[in-house]
Amino acid sequence: MNDYLAVFIFIVMALGFTAAGLITAYLVRTSRPSLKKNETYECGEEPVGGAWIQFNMRYYVFALLFVVFDVEAVFLFPWAVVFKSFGVSALVELLVFLGILLAGLLYAWKKGSLQWE
Amino acid sequence: MIEQLKNSGFEEMTLNMGPQHPSTHGVLHLLLKMDGEVITEARPDIGYLHRGMEKIAEKRTWGANIALSDRWDYIASMSNNFAAVLGPEKLMSITVPKRAEYIRVIMAELNRIASHLIFFGTYGIDIGAFTPFFYAFREREKILDLYESVCGARLTYNYFRIGGVSADLPEEFIPGVKAFINYFRPKLKEYDTLLSTNPIFMDRTVGVGAITKEEAIDWALSGPNIRASGVNFDLRKDDPYSVYSEFDFNIPTGKNGDCWDRYMVRMNEMKESARIVEQALEKLEPGDIMAKVAKVIRPPAGEIYTHVEAPKGELGVYCISDGSTMPYRYKVRGPSFVNLAILQKMLKGLRIADVVAVLGSIDIVLGEVDR
Amino acid sequence: MIYASQSLGDLWNWLLQQFAELCGSLGIPEVIRYMVEKGAYAVGLLVFISLTALVMIYMERKVSAHMQLRYGPMWTGGWHGWSQTIADMIKLLLKEDIIPDKADRWVHRIAPIVIFVPSLIGFLVIPFDKYLIGADLNVGILLVFGFSSIAVLSIFMGGWASNNKYTLLGGLRSAAQMISYELPLVLSVLGVIMTVGSLKMSDIVMAQKDVWFLFTPNLLGFIIYIIAGTAEVNRTPFDLPEAESELVSGYNTEYSGLKYGFFMLSEFTNTFIISAIAATFFMGGWNGPSWLPGIVSFLAKTYLIVFLLMWFRWTFPRLRVDRLMDFGWKFLLPLSFFNILMIAVWVLVKK
């Protein structure tokens, strides 16, 4: 039998479990919203401007780098599985692959993309 | 690409940090303007704890103002008491008995240890280490127990009197202090292994928020904050009050004036305070604890500025007497208030994570800032 | 027949066989039988997860308390405050659900679900004992990493939707941190996979029958895994997303009630998964002395790692965000590349 069916069954059950919790909470909890209570928290002060503004975040560079490296990490998984049966030739291929990866990392490093400002 | 994005005109984010914030040490309100996580402008906004102490003092008798002084820097009340009594004593030229002077010094120095212990604990929490806090409070608890045995209070002692102290030491006090000092010395080493030399802690504090010698003087810093920048300024040595000139102790100073130096100066000061307490215990001899002072205190008309080296820095009291039972003007120079001012300069260009590291290292008490 | 000395896994296997025979005699189709079996396992797993969360929260409180010269909860329920966590769960359930007026209501609502459900799914492929594994997929470990990385999305959603500057900064930081440390995390287990030659959890456990991978050159991988794993579940010294001294409570500042509970619970379930994977990959999984039921030795190892992570949390200060990134990209990532090379050479030499 296909094992992914089990995964699917479990996802459905986990969703059900979460939903059951939320519905129970919805039924038993109190709800007395007020203007002050629903205000955005900012240490007790009136917030100056919203949070949804365009401002300088350095995180996106890491996100870009991550995509590159994560995709390549995924490539490594099938390689790792068959590594034992292929032997030395696989090692050489790995060296080339890692070499390219590392070159990319060094380039990003040199470029200052890994620098948090 | 990065350069293009840098120049593309991002909006500034204005963030209120405090008054209700876990790490603003009370109710300090920092108005931060940020470009990403970098702070471009910081403005401390104070006054949330303002109680009008200086005005209240004008309507209370000189003796009653000692009780008021407990509420300035409420974690080092003994030092506040000290500052509050020196002025009237000088105006009335009272000679305090020797025994009372030594008791005062013991109390003030134990209070310095207690205050620095709170700094140690809360600074750990600011940096993200929760455990040192409880260690520090374990030790502070013992000091408070000692205080309780002397004056019955654990936070607002109201122990000093114009002309002496309110009560003599109980029997168990002196052995208690000796036991505490012996217990406390090894604990300081424990703190060093726990926090001071922790690589992550040093990474967060070394080189962060450095104040140069000149800046420290320009901004009129005092206490551990100015000593960390390499300025050897300590009122106990530079303008010895009470009996401080009789003791042998060092003034720890820093070099770079960064957060770690400020931290280490305080840690070393605890060692020196322990030494002073030991010496004072040796010199302690039986005798009077109060000078002969009239029941109703009426200092002769005149003005005077007296200052003590409180745990946080120079705590000064400027008072004008018109010859009546109440001061005509009572001005307090709180070290926290003056030290806080440099924050707006230090924070510029730092990241938001450094804000708490710098703020914590200045070691302010809002009760004293706002008074 | 079953014996008392046999472990839970054998019992489960025996039950499955009995059920299969029953189905065979009643003529119930294979698909129905399979679904009932897996459904039963899933129910058991959900009960187990709930209990695990309760135990871990209680454990965290007690461990932290005793490290800090405190006792922790002592009153609720009588014996050492054992029911404190249950009381807290009831409190969370009854608490008012506050959604700020300025928030994006739907994203705000969905975020806790998005973090909680994937954190449950990882449990499916964890081999608790022989036969006691929900789905022994041939990509086992990839499923765990795949689902656990959804957490980034949720934290980001929660942080952004609240329309609060603290949550936004916390969410963005968290996203940056988690994606940065996901790389070393994924790469650190590659060494084990190369040694075994399979992604299947059961194969990895079986390969450690004689010697745990912890005691081979894979030790380096283990160290990288623990560091990256700590960062992945946002625990001190990598707890920047919820750095309370800076960002109040980080991405979950604006959450209350059960939705906050889901964020908190998923932190604990994720910690358990990270520890369980460590136990499986490096400490021999359910392998252990023959007199000890497999599940016991597996849980003992897992909780050992859980304790280690708690120990970290209550000892270390917090890293600063730029140092965190430096450490991840400039040290841990090259180190995990080196680890792969080293294991490759080691595997070849051994062959």
CA distance B159 to B63: 11
**Strand B302-310 vs strand B164-165: parallel, antiparallel, or unpaired?**
unpaired
In terms of DSSP H, where are the helices of chain C? Answer: 8-26, 30-67, 84-94, 105-121, 140-148, 150-161, 165-188, 190-196, 201-206, 219-232, 244-247, 257-282, 294-315, 321-326, 333-350
More confident residue, A73 or B97: B97
**C293, C7 Cβ separation under 8 angstroms:** yes
Residue C83 lies in a domain: no
Biggest distance spanned by C-alpha atoms of chain C: 65
| Min Cα–Cα distance to chain A from B43, Å | 14
Polymer length in residues for chain C: 351
**C180·A62 Cβ contact <8 A:** yes
Report the C-alpha gap between B105 and B111 in whole angstroms.
10
Residue of C123, C193, C201, C265 to mutate for A, most A C-beta atoms under 10 A: C193
Q: In the beta sheet, which residues pair with residue B333?
A: B316
Interface contact flag, B16 A49, Cβ < 8 Å? no
Q: Measured between beta carbons, which residues in chain C are less than 8 angstroms from residue A113?
A: none
Work out the minimum CA distance from B255 to partner chain C, whole angstroms: 23
Q: In the B/C pair of chains, how many CB contacts fall below 8 A?
A: 77
CB pairs under 8 A between A and C: 204
Give me the pLDDT at residue A1, please. Answer: 54
Contact B84/B304 with Cβ under 8 angstroms? Answer: no
In a domain, C157, yes or no: yes
* pLDDT at residue B2 in the model: 46
Flag if A43 and B38 touch (Cβ within 8 Å): no
How many other C-beta atoms lie within 10 A of the C-beta of residue B217? 14
Question: What is the C-alpha end-to-end distance of chain B, expressed in Å?
Answer: 51
Q: Check if the beta carbon of residue C238 is closer than 8 Å to that of residue C228.
A: no
Give CA–CA dist A13/B259, Å, rounded.
52
Cβ–Cβ of B22/C236 closer than 8 Å? no
Cα C32 versus chain centre, distance? 31
Dihedral pair phi/psi, residue C335, rounded to 5°: -65, -40
**CB spacing of C319 vs B203 below 8 angstroms:** yes
Q: Residue B10: which of A56, A113, A117 has the nearest Cβ?
A: A56
Residue C87 lies in a domain: no
Q: Is B286 left (phi over 0), alpha (psi -120 to 50) or beta?
A: beta
CA distance linking residue C100 with residue C253, whole number of Å: 11
- Provide the domain count of chain B: 1
> Residue C311 domain-assigned?
yes
Contact predicate B27/B18, CB 8 Å: yes
Task: Show the domain range for B85.
Answer: 2-370
What does the pLDDT read at residue B5?
Answer: 46
Query: Pick from C67, C69, C236: which is nearest to B128 by CB?
Result: C236
Contact C114, C154 (CB under 8 A): yes
Q: Is A34 on the interface with C (CB under 8 A)?
A: no
Size of interface A-B (CB pairs under 8 A): 48
Query: Does residue C55 sit within a domain?
Result: no
pLDDT along chain C (351 residues), means of 10: 60 80 79 80 87 89 88 84 87 86 85 87 84 77 84 85 83 82 87 84 83 82 90 79 70 84 88 90 81 82 90 84 82 87 84 74
**CA–CA separation, C176 vs A62, rounded Å?**
7
For residue C169, the one-letter residue type is L
Question: What is the structure's pLDDT at A116?
Answer: 64
Is residue C110 in a domain?
Answer: yes
**Residue C334, min C-alpha distance to chain B (Å):** 21
Residues linked to residue B332 through DSSP beta bridges, in sequence order: B317
**A contact residues 41-100, partner C, Cβ 8 Å cutoff:** 41-43, 47, 50-52, 57, 59, 62-63, 65-66, 69-70, 73, 76-77, 80-85, 87-88, 90-91, 94-95, 98
pLDDT in tens, C199-247: 888 888 888 888 888 788 888 889 999 998 888 888 777 777 666 667 7
Q: What pLDDT shows up at residue A56? A: 60
Reduced 3-state DSSP string for chain B: CHHHHHCCCCCCEEEEECCCCCCCCCCCEEEEEEECCEEEEEEEECCCCCCCHHHHHCCCCCCHHHHHHCCCCCCCHHHHHHHHHHHHHHHCCCCCCHHHHHHHHHHHHHHHHHHHHHHHHHHHHHHCCCHHHHHHHHHHHHHHHHHHHHHCCCCCCCCEECCEECCCCCCCHHHHHHHHHHHHHHHHHHHHHHHHCCHHHHHHHCCCCCCCHHHHHHCCCCCHHHHHCCCCCCHHHHCCCCCHHHCCCCCCCCCCCCHHHHHHHHHHHHHHHHHHHHHHHHHCCCCCCECCCCCCCCCCCEEEEEEEEECCEEEEEEEEECCCCCEEEEEEECHHHHHHCCHHHHCCCCEHHHHHHHHHHHCCCHHHHHC
- What is the pTM assigned to this prediction? 0.85
- What does each C-alpha distance from C91 to A19, A30, C88, C258 come to in angstroms? 18, 11, 5, 9
Core vs surface per residue B256-279: b (16+ CB within 10 A) or e:
bbbbbbbbbbbbbbbebbbbbbbb
User: Do C202 and C136 contact (CB within 8 A), yes or no?
Assistant: yes
The Cα C145–Cα C126 span in angstroms is 12
Name B159's Cβ contacts closer than 8 Å, sequence gap at least 6.
Answer: B78, B81, B107, B147, B150, B151, B153, B165, B166, B167
Q: Is residue C273 part of a domain?
A: yes
Among candidate residues B321, B311, B351, the one with its CA nearest the CA of residue B39: B351
Question: CB neighbours of A4 closer than 8 A, spacing ≥ 6?
Answer: C135, C137
- Weakly modelled stretches of chain B, pLDDT under 50: 1-5
- A54 — pLDDT class (breaks 50, 70, 90): low
Which is more confident, B240 or A63?
B240
Supply the pLDDT for residue B7: 52
Instruction: Output Rg (C-alpha) for chain B, integer angstroms.
Output: 21
Q: Which of B130, B204, B352 sits opposite C169 (nearest CB)?
A: B352
Write out residues 222-241 of C within 8 Å (CB-CB) of B.
236-237, 239-240
Q: How far is B16 from chain A (nearest CA, A)?
A: 6
Subunit contact B204:C246, Cβ cutoff 8 A: no
In angstroms, what CA-CA distances link B149 with B158, B159, B179, B273, C199? 14, 12, 15, 20, 68
Nearest CA in chain C to B354: C320
CB contact under 8 Å between C172 and A13, yes or no, is no
10 Å CB burial of residue A20 (0-12, 13-18, 19+) is: exposed
Please state the domain count of chain C.
1
pLDDT (tens digit, 9 = 90+) per residue, C47-57? Answer: 888 888 888 98
Burial of B293-328, coded b for 16+ CB within 10 Å and e otherwise, reads: beeebbbeeeebebbbbbbbbbbbbbbbbeeeebbe
Q: Which residues, in sequence order, are CB contacts of A36 under 8 Å at separation 6+? A: none
Secondary structure (3-state) at C289: coil
Across the strands, what pairs with B164?
Answer: B161, B290
Decide if B18 and A43 are in contact by the 8 Å CB cutoff.
Answer: yes
Measured distance between the N- and C-terminal CA atoms of chain A, rounded to whole angstroms: 53
| Closest approach of B199 to chain C, Cα-based (Å) | 9
The verdict on C82 touching B (C-beta cutoff 8 Å) is no
Tokens at B39, concatenated? 């702070």
Nearest by CB to residue C318, choosing from B128, B195, B351, is B128
Q: What is the signed CA dihedral for A49, A52, A53, A58, rounded to 10 degrees?
A: 130
The answer to whether the CB atoms of C197 and A85 lie below 8 A apart is yes
CATH number, domain of B136, equals: 1.10.645.10
Nearest CA in chain A to C165: A51
Give the mean pLDDT of A72-82.
81
- Phi, psi for B14 (deg, rounded to 5): -105, 120
Q: Which residues of A touch C190 (CB under 8 A)?
A: 76-77, 80
**Contact check, Cβ <8 Å, A33/C98:** yes
Of C257, C337, C344, the CB nearest to A91: C344
Q: Mutate which of C246, C314, C323, C331 to disrupt the B interface (most B C-beta within 10 Å)?
A: C246
For position B246, what pLDDT does the model report? 86
In B165-181, which positions are buried (b, 16+ CB within 10 angstroms) versus exposed (e)? bbebbeeebeebbeebb
Instruction: Dump pLDDT digits (tens) for A4-50.
Output: 888 888 888 888 888 888 888 888 888 888 887 777 777 777 777 66
Cα C177–Cα C180–Cα C183 angle in degrees, nearest 5: 140
Q: Residue C70: helix, strand or coil by DSSP?
A: coil
pLDDT at A55 over 80: no
Task: Give residue A89's Cα distance to chain centre.
Answer: 33
C175 part of a folded domain = yes
pLDDT per residue over B171-180, tens digit each? Answer: 888 898 989 9
Q: Please identify which residue in the block is written with the tokens 């010094």.
A: B105
